[in-house]
Structure 1
Amino acid sequence: METWEGPPTVSLVTTNSKAPQVKMSAQESCLSLIKYFLFVFNLFFFVLGSLIFCFGIWILIDKASFVSFVGLTFVALQIWSKVLAISGILTMGLALLGCVGALKELRCLLGLYFGMLLLLFATQITLGILISTQRVRVERRVQDIVLEAIQNYRADPEETAAEESWDYVQFQLRCCGWHSPQDWFPVRVLRDNGSEAHHVPCSCYNSSAATNDSAVFDKIIFPQLGRFGPRARPRHSTDICVVPANGHIYREGCAQSLQKWLHNNLISIVGICLAVGLLELGFMTLSIFLCRNLDHVYYNRLARYR
Structure 2
Amino acid sequence: MDTCEGPPIVSLAPTYPKEKMSAQESCLSLIKYFLFVFNLFFFVLGSLFFCFGIWVLIDKTSFAFFMGLSFMPLQTWAKVLAVSGVLTMTLALLGCLGALKELRCLLGLYFGMLLLLFATQITIGILIYTQRTRLERRVQELVLQTIQGYGANLGDTAAEENWDYTQFQLRCCGWHSPRDWISARMLKGNESEGPLVPCSCYNSTATNDSSSYDKLLSQHMGTADLCTLPAKAPYYREGCAQSLRKWLHNNLISIVAICLGAGLLELSFMTLSIFLCRNLDHVYDRLARYR
TM-score normalised by L of structure 2: 0.87
Change (3 A) 1:66 1:193: farther
Over 3 Å counting, the alpha-carbon distance change for 1:224 and 1:57 in structure 2 is: farther
The verdict on how the C-alpha distance between 1:67 and 1:245 changes in structure 2, with shifts beyond 3 A counting, is farther
Deviation of the 1:179 alpha carbon: 0.5
Instruction: Find the aligned partners of 2:73 and 2:191 in 1 and give their Cα distance.
Output: 29
Residues 185 and 173 from structure 1, CA distance in 2 versus in 1: closer, same or farther, beyond 3 angstroms?
same
Residue 231 of structure 1 is matched in structure 2 by: none
1:88-167 alignment runs, 5 A limit: 88-167=85-164
**Displacement of 1:156:** 1.4
Per the alignment, in what secondary structure is the counterpart of residue 189 of structure 1? Answer: coil
2:64 is matched with 66
* Separation (CA, whole Å) in 1 of partners of 2:192 and 2:216: 19
Q: Which runs of 5+ in 1 are unaligned?
A: 1-16, 226-234
Higher alpha-carbon deviation: 194-203 or 244-253 = 194-203
Normalised TM-score (structure 1) = 0.83
Distance in 2 separating the partners of 1:154 and 1:199: 11
Deviations for 1:179-238, whole angstroms, at most 9, x for unmatched residues? 000111122332336989422110000011122x322223443x699xxxxxxxxx88x6
Cα offsets for 1:138-157 (capped at 9, x unmatched)? 11111111111111212211
Does residue 1:55 correspond to 2:55, yes or no? no
Query: % of aligned pairs identical?
Result: 68
Aligned position for 2:210: 214
1:252 partner letter: E
Contact in 2 for aligned 1:200/1:245 (Cα 8 Å): no
Classify 1:216/1:104 alpha carbon distance in 2 versus 1 (closer, same or farther; 3 Å): same
- In structure 2, do the counterparts of structure 1 residues 54 and 40 end up closer, same or farther at CA, with 3 Å as the change threshold? same
Asked if 1:289 is matched to 2:275, the reply is yes
Look at both structures and tell me which one has the larger radius of gyration over its CA atoms: 1
- The offset of 1:84, in angstroms, is 1.4
Gaps of 5+ in 2: 1-13
CA distance in 2, matches of 1:139, 1:162: 17
Q: In structure 1, how many angstroms separate the alpha carbons of the residues matched to 2:225 and 2:65?
A: 16
The Cα of 1:106 is off from its aligned counterpart by 0.5
**Residues 127 and 179 (structure 1), Cα distance of their counterparts in 2 relative to 1, 3 Å cut:** same
Higher relative contact order (CA 8 A, sep 6+): 1
Q: 1:241 is matched by which residue type in structure 2?
A: L
* CA RMSD, 1 decimal: 2.5
Give the secondary-structure state (helix, strand or coil) at the position aligned to 2:17.
helix
Match of 2:36 among 11, 34, 39: 39
Alignment deviations for residues 81-108 of structure 1 (CA, whole Å, 9 cap, x no partner):
2221111100110010001001101000
